[in-house]
A and B are shown apart, each in its own frame.
Chain A
Amino acid sequence: MSAELAEPASKIELPAGVGGGGEIPSFDVTLRVRRYNPEVSEDATWDDFKVTMYGTDRVLDALHKIKWEIDGSVSFRRSCAHGVCGSDAMRINGRNRLACKTLLKDLDTSKPITVEPIKGLPVEKDLIVDMEPFFQSFREVMPFLINRGHEPTKERLQSAEDRERFDDTTKCILCAACTSSCPVFWTDGQYFGPAAIVNAHRFIFDSRDDAGDMRLEILNDKEGVWRCRTTFNCSEACPRGIQVTKAIAEVKQAILARKI
């Protein structure tokens, strides 16, 4: 048995040519990538790369092809490449998206596709930005469960309705697409930003958490929720479809309800 690990024969007769997924259309596409290397020049430039890609490919695949086959110095972050880790948020054709969730065929391939780093955070190289200011704001809202009661001996139970209350904001993957799409954050880096507020919302409205008041007090800062101008850029940018602006509005209401 040990030597024979071949695939078992198919039980269905398939005609030749079927089963390989068929012919995937391929097309040429130009990627216009924002390049920045502080060791070479203080100025950022645009580089065009023409690559042949397939209809099933994403922008990330094109970037891989460029890095692996054309120019190894192109730098970008990516980790899981499947829209979960939140590493490869970038500005594609002027909109913040995840490179791993944006299919090339959904973009206008007749024109060059522009790929830039997300705005508002310091660029380190090419498409890589310094995420530290973003995570600093995230940490400041205390994104962890705080419970003053006795330590339970089993898990903390919660009704389905209570869980539903903050379900939307549990989806955040901290990709910074929302915060770096916010025009307030572009000029005022001190603003907590949508992502920090979303993650505060996730605990403020969690019935098991006791530190909602502390988080509301933190976000009542002059750089907190009142800085939001409801432009909805964040809701539009979120690759997880979180209603970010709605979450911010709910935190505003919670602060008002507590104060008045």
Chain B
Amino acid sequence: MDATQIQSPRAAKVGAGRVAPQYNRSGSSKGNFEMFAWLFMRLSGVVLVVLIFGHLAVNLLVGEGIHAIDFGFVAGKWADPFWQVWDLAMLWLAMLHGTNGVRTIINDYAEKDATRLWLKTVLYAATLVIVVLGTLVIFTFDPCPVANGVQLPGGFCPAP
């Protein structure tokens, strides 16, 4: 070794560069996704407060309150486009709000890239299933389902 060269004790420990690789930002992320995600969290939170407390009040407090809730009550609500839209908004906002929150937690706490990828895959798959299924139910809900010309049990519908 040249006499003027100064030994660098940390070089062997932290890898090739002067800074350990886990500190180097992997490329610049173009786009505003994180900004919109942050903004969505705040806005959806405010809207959800109104939607959820409205939902709770109508279902549990107004009229007979909690004693009125049954299949017929839900069927009656979903016959009204207003409540369809209300519940749809609640479903989508709550699911995306919650998914984004869990995504953030995974980003914060997962230490390995592989762990992060798998947790997020499971999260997004679960979100997709619930959102699609929920949307389908709200719009295709039939209080008097008929299968093979026979009415399915329920007891709320007049005989065909």
Contacts and interface: CB of A to CB of B under 8 A. Distances in A.
Interface string B132-155: 000000000000000000000000
A189 B23 contact: yes
A59 to B, nearest CB: 26
B14 interface: yes
- Of the four ranges (under 10, 10 to 19, 20 to 34, 35 or more), the interface on chain A belongs to 20 to 34
A187 B107 CA distance: 9
B28 interface: yes
Interface stretch (B35-43, B64-72, B77-85, B86-94): B35-43
A223 B25 contact: yes
A81 B158 CA distance: 87
Contacts of B7: none
Interface residues of B, dominant DSSP: helix
A252 B10 CA distance: 36
B111 A190 contact: no
Interface string A93-132: 0000000000000000000000000000010100000101
B73 to A, nearest CB: 40
B117 to A, nearest CB: 15
Interface string A24-62: 000000000000001000000000000000000000000
Given A133-B20, A190-B24, A122 B13 contact: yes
B32 A259 contact: yes
A189 B35 contact: no
A130 B13 CA distance: 11
Given A190-B25, A259-B35, A132 B19 contact: yes
Given A132-B18, A221-B28, A221-B34, 6 more contacts: A122-B10, A133-B19, A133-B23, A189-B23, A226-B35, A226-B38
